[in-house]
């Protein structure tokens, strides 16, 4: 089964699309990064810590992380209506939850750290690219963090698990169809985010976690390299 399975774009089952990562792409932001899985491109900008406005949203106990995810209207083949939608608001919240365990913002009472994620080009796995870009941008902005976070989507095409879905695979219709499972790991191998809509057996779920962990180790290396290269360039 494993050997004869063919992915639409000819990748191996554990092969991700070519990844590009860069840091410091937005001069006006306190920290910024770009992360791309093949044709899926996300950019993230971090502003702050700055005073939370409106005042009634201030938390006097600890700082707040506020993420906004947005898809540009030209990021997909059919133009999407610009502005916040049900989907983008949900992904913003998901991103916030995926990243909040790694940022150490207890000392920033009444302050907010704004993370703006823009999807320039979408070919599935946009939330994963967004989380990866945001983690890099937060580090670049000098926010104290426990570590980085890396995210990847694991797919189930019929019954076969594959790493890093693209749009063609997401629309898979044979057999049981496609199930998309975005998963986020910290660099010490803990899960901060996992989503699933569809069906999966408990045995296969364990496999999903293993595949995700393996892919995230690779992504983590690329993220670290991008952050280090940005400083080396200045030297």
Partner 1 sequence: MDRKIVIPGEIIASGDSLPGEWTEKRGSDIVALRYGLVDESNRLVKIIPLSGVYQPRMGNVVIGKVRDITFNGWLIDIGAAEDAFLSVAEVPRYVNKGGLDEVMDIGDMMVAKIIGTHKRSLDLTVKARGLGKIEDGMIISVNSNKVPRVIGKEGSMVKLIKDESKCNITVGQNGLIWIKGDSVEDELFSKKAILFVTEKAFVSGLTEEIKKFFIKK
- Catalog residues that contact partner 1 under the rule CB under 8 A: 30-31, 48-51, 102, 104, 108-111, 139-148, 186-188, 223-224, 227-228, 231-232, 234-235
Structural tokens at position 221: 């290396």
- Measuring CA to CA, which residue among 118, 60, 62 is closest to residue 91? 118
The residue among 31 and 38 lying less far from partner 1, judged by its C-beta, is: 31
- Closest separation between CB of residue 171 and partner 1, Å? 36
Query: Minimal distance in Å, beta carbon 50 to partner 1?
Result: 5
Two tokens, residue 46: 């971090």
Q: Which is nearer to partner 1, 147 or 177 (CB)?
A: 147
Task: Decide: 173 and 133 in contact? Cβ < 8 Å.
Answer: no
Residue 13 or 191 having the CB closest to partner 1: 191
Torsions phi, psi of 175, nearest 5? 60, -125
Q: Give me the least distance between CB of 207 and partner 1, in Å please.
A: 26
What's phi and psi for 95, nearest 5 deg? -65, -45
What is the rounded CA–CA span in Å between residue 190 and residue 149?
Answer: 9
CB of 211 to partner 1, least distance (A): 22
């Amino acid at each position: 089964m494993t050997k004869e399975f063919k992915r639409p774009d000819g990748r191996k089952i554990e092969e991700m699309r070519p990844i590009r990562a860069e840091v410091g792409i937005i001069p006006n932001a306190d920290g910024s990064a770009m992360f791309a899985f093949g044709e899926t491109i996300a950019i993230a900008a971090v502003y702050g810590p700055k005073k939370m406005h409106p005042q009634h949203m201030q938390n006097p106990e600890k700082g707040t992380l506020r993420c906004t995810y947005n898809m540009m209207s030209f990021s997909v083949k059919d133009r999407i209506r610009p502005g916040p939608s049900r989907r983008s608001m949900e992904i913003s919240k998901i991103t916030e939850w995926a990243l909040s365990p790694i940022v150490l913002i207890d000392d920033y009472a009444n302050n907010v750290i704004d993370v703006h994620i823009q999807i320039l080009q979408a070919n599935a796995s946009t939330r994963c690219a967004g989380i990866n870009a945001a983690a890099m941008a937060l580090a670049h902005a000098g926010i104290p963090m426990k570590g980085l976070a890396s995210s990847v989507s694991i797919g189930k095409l019929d019954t076969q698990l594959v790493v890093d879905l693209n749009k063609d695979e997401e629309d898979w219709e044979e057999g049981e169809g496609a199930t998309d499972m975005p998963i986020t790991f910290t660099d010490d191998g803990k899960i901060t985010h996992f989503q699933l809509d569809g069906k999966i057996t408990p045995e296969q779920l364990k496999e999903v976690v293993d595949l995700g962990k393996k892919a995230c180790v690779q992504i983590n290396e690329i993220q670290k390299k991008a952050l280090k290269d940005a400083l080396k360039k200045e030297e």
